[in-house]
Structures are given as C-alpha cells and as structure tokens.
Amino acid sequence: MTISPLQKARYGYQPKLPKILQNDISNVAIEYGKATQSVSDQDKIREMFPNTYGMKEISFLAAPSKAENRKHIVGVILSGGQAPGGHNVITGLYDALKKAGKDNVLLGFKGGPSGLLEDDCVEFTDEFINEYRNTGGFDIIGSGRTKLETVEQFKVAGEVAKKHGLNAIVIIGGDDSNTNAAVLAEYFASNNAGIQVIGCPKTIDGDLKNDVIETSFGFDTACKTYSELIGNIERDAASARKYWHFIKVMGRSASHIALECALECQPNICLIGEEVEAKKQSMMDIVNYIADVVTVRAQEGCNFGVAIIPEGLIEFIPEVKILISELNDLLAQNEKEYSLLSSFESQTAFISAKLSENSRKVFASLPSDIQKQLLMDRDPHGNVQVSRIETEKLLITMVSEELARRKKEGKYSGKFNALNHFFGYEGRCAFPSNFDADYCYSLGYNAFLLIANGLTGYMSVVTGLSEGPANWKAGGIPITKMMNIERRHGEYKPVIRKALVELDGKPFKYFEERRKTWEKETCFTFPGAIQYYGPEEVCDITTRTLVLEQSK
C-alpha cells in the first residue's frame, strides 16, 4: 500500500492521555457520583429502561482497582456517519485491552450494526491496527446506519456475541447510535446475558453534548477543515472583490458548526437556525436581512462578501418547520400508497391534498427543485435529509429577486454576483487534529476501564477538555440520563436529546456582540490548514466554542 509522508508520520504520533489513564490499569478505581435521571419524560424512560435507569455518574481516580481480573473479548462497532478520530477510539480501546492482558481480544464488526447481526467481523492485531493510528475515516471496519430496535435483532446480536464469547460491545456513534446502545444494554441486562454495552460520543455536528459531555469527537477537526476552506474563500473574495459566497456547512439540525466557523473566520453573515426559530423569523425576514447587509456593503463600495448557512436552517424557519413535520408524518403514514406514485406531479398532488392549508401554501410557494428535495427519501429515522436541500441556492435566488426589486425602487445600486458552496463530506474523514487524536484515543482507552469495572449502559466521558490532555478527567455517564421521548416515523420513541446552540451561551453571545461590525466591515480572518507538528499553542488548540464555554 502506498502511503503519503504525512500518513507515515501520523502513524508514529503517540496520543496524549489524561494523567489518570497513564496509571497502570490495576491502579485505577471507580468513584461513584450522584444518581441520574433522564433530561425529561422521566416516568416513561424509567419504565422503558428498568434495569439501566437511574445509575450513578462515575469518575476514575488513582487507587487500587476492584475490577475482576479476567480475560476480555470485546466487540466494537462504528455506527452512523464518519467523524475524524474514530480510528483512534478503536486503537485506544485496543491498547488498553492489551495492556490489561495479552490474551484479551478485540473484534471489529464490519459495516456498522449490521456486521453484528450478520456475524461479519475481524480480529484486530498489532500489524492490522497500526495502519490506522491517527488517520481519518472509518475504513478500518466501515460504518452503517442499521438501527438496533427490535427484539428479533437483539436476540441475533446476543447469539452472535455468545458465539464469540463477547463480554462487552462498544458502539461508537452519535445520538441515535447511542440510543441503540442504551436499548441493547437494557435488553442484555433484562435477560442476564452477561454482555456489557458501552457508547462513545461521535458526531461532527456537535449536538451530542451536555453538562458532562463537553464535545463530541470529530467536531474539532471538521470545523477546522471547514474554517480553512472558508478562510481561503474569504481571501479570494477580498482579492477579487466581485462575488458574494453563500457557504452551507454540515451540521444536520444544530448550528454548532456554522457558529464555530463564524467565530474562526468572521464572515459578513452567519445565520443561526436556533435564533431564527426563537425570533420566529420567516423566509422573507431572512431574505431581507441578507439583502440589507448586501445593500450596506454596496454603499461602502464592497460588492462582495461571505455568508455561512447552517445545513439545517430550513427546519428552523417556523412555517417550513411545520411543513416538514407534516411531510414526515404523511410520508410515514402513507408510505405504501405514496411509493406507487411515479411522477413528481402526482406526488405533489397527493401531498398537497393532505397538507394543512397553511403548509399547502408554503409548499406551493417554494421552487420546484426545493419541493423535490423535500420529498426525497427520508433518512433512517424518518426525517427529511437536510443535506440534500439546497438552501444556499434558494437564498441566492430570493435575495437576487429582492435586490432587483430594490434597484427598481432606487434603494440599491450595487452588483450582486453570488456563488454557492456546500462543505460537508470534506470534513468528515480528515486526518484528526491533535485534539481529536488525543481525545478519541482517551475515549477508547477509557471505554475499556468502564468494561473492566463491569459497567453497562454507560457512555465513555472525558472532561476538562480546554485544559490540555494531562489535566483531562475520565469517567462515564449513564446513557439514559440524556434521553427523552420524540416522534420518529410517526411514533413516539426514546432518543438522546440533541443539544442545540444556546442563545444565552458564551459562544453565541460573543458572536452576537461582534456581528454588526462583521456585517459592514471586511473583518475576515484566515485560520489556515490544521497543524500537526510545531508549537502546542498552534497544534493542540481546540475550538473557539469550547474555549469560550469553559472560560471563567
């Protein structure tokens, strides 16, 4: 296999661990904290998870371990979309296993949860795993989006686990994948299967976080990758001085990535979906806001600029959010009948007849391309695939029309030439930053300690992340603590609550205080490429979001 010089160099990088995890595993003990309850719907969640609800938060401290000294055979699954650092979670888990006992075994199930159901796995060895250290992607075993949610699936998973002698399964994934982990842990516990389930917090979206999980892995690298690209475009915009760039960035429902990139790059415009919803801004409110900024800059002789658009923006616009909710339910409840419709015309007629009057008007007002994108196949959870909705193109079209109207009225005399971009997949499999390389390795290493101490239904947690790896703390949090009840595929189900941008949080407040200046002036900043070797203040920095959140 041909490898690049950087890849070869990254193989040799030794991720930094928290001090507590640097101890011999026999000298790391559990300290129990307070009992937990779910973020909402406590009675329903408790009823659904009688064996794993209400467990205590735990942390690790330096003391003789009370963990049973036995052979461990552990399975690991990568679930959901890729995120930089996933390979390091596995290598950290592997190294901790082997440090505890050379006979311990780590099996990787291929292609996500389906690999467990189909008994498709590989045993990791030093030679195999060393080719993936500190590299991006999930190609070590692949990933998938199969949901583990039926008793039949749980029985198969238990049979496969028993066949291989597994005593634990680690599921590396986002909110939905870790919901799967919680449900599987509950099933095994209720049947005394003797199989533990541990989760790890993955998603570049940044929406898997709470008072204990400070950030999900991959967010740091993805934001730095997008910020480099946005900075490059800003430099080009300031050089050419003739284009407005509308840049949509990945992030699914939450606007964490958009906000972080704005903090890094200081664009003229950054829309935050959570603010749009809180202020009940309509599509035309957003269009007028953008047109106002374009007009003011044109008056200063600046017919150029950069606008960042969060991927899930359209879901936060009140009238469109209601429309999408109705569409999701309609398509779930009428799946068979709808699938027989072959033409776009017949599909829109079918849908329009079943929508409420207001949603019918909103749907009819949208360009046909956007209508088609709203009717595309749903994701595995029954929701619209927002990455396919070209919100940036829609806004360019509508802003162009508004500026043309203003020009006729003598209220605008500039030039508006707009280009659109979508940054998503470019950031999901990048070489992990030093932060993500260290964080992910620590999460995997920590996951084994949770297993060694007999815990199940927990998520691996590392905290104090703005203080540098040596000062990080390690422990675990019951997955049920993060759960609530939401509507999926037309039914109410337990899921981990997504963490959205907090409008009273320090990162948004910092942005809010400065955006008026950024709108009018050209304040672009250029983060540049991720640095892996050099001064720590350049190479090991984390996100502006995390630094602001943990500032005193």
Q: Which residues are catalytic?
A: 205
Cα–Cα distances in angstroms (integers) from residue 260 to residues 100, 272, 347, 375, 511, in the given order = 39, 11, 39, 30, 9
- Structure-block tokens of residue 65: 């371990």
Distance separating alpha carbons of residues 235 and 423, to the nearest angstrom: 17
Q: Is the dihedral of CA 239, 245, 249, 255 positive or negative?
A: positive
- Give every CB contact of residue 184 below 8 A, 6+ residues apart in sequence: 148, 154, 157, 169, 171, 197
Read off the amino acid at residue 458: Y
Length of the chain (residues): 552
Region of 200 please: left (phi>0), alpha (psi -120 to 50) or beta: beta
Cα–Cα distances in angstroms (integers) from residue 482 to residues 175, 221, 304, 411, 487, in the given order = 9, 24, 43, 50, 16
Q: Cβ(497)–Cβ(482) under 8 Å?
A: yes
Torsion of CA 79, 80, 85, 88, to 10 degrees: 10
Helix (H) or strand (E) segment spanning residue 448: helix 434-452
Region of 490 please: left (phi>0), alpha (psi -120 to 50) or beta: left
Among the residues of 173-301, which ranges form H helices?
Answer: 175-190, 219-240, 256-265, 273-278, 283-299
Nearest to 215 by CA among 482, 427, 462: 462
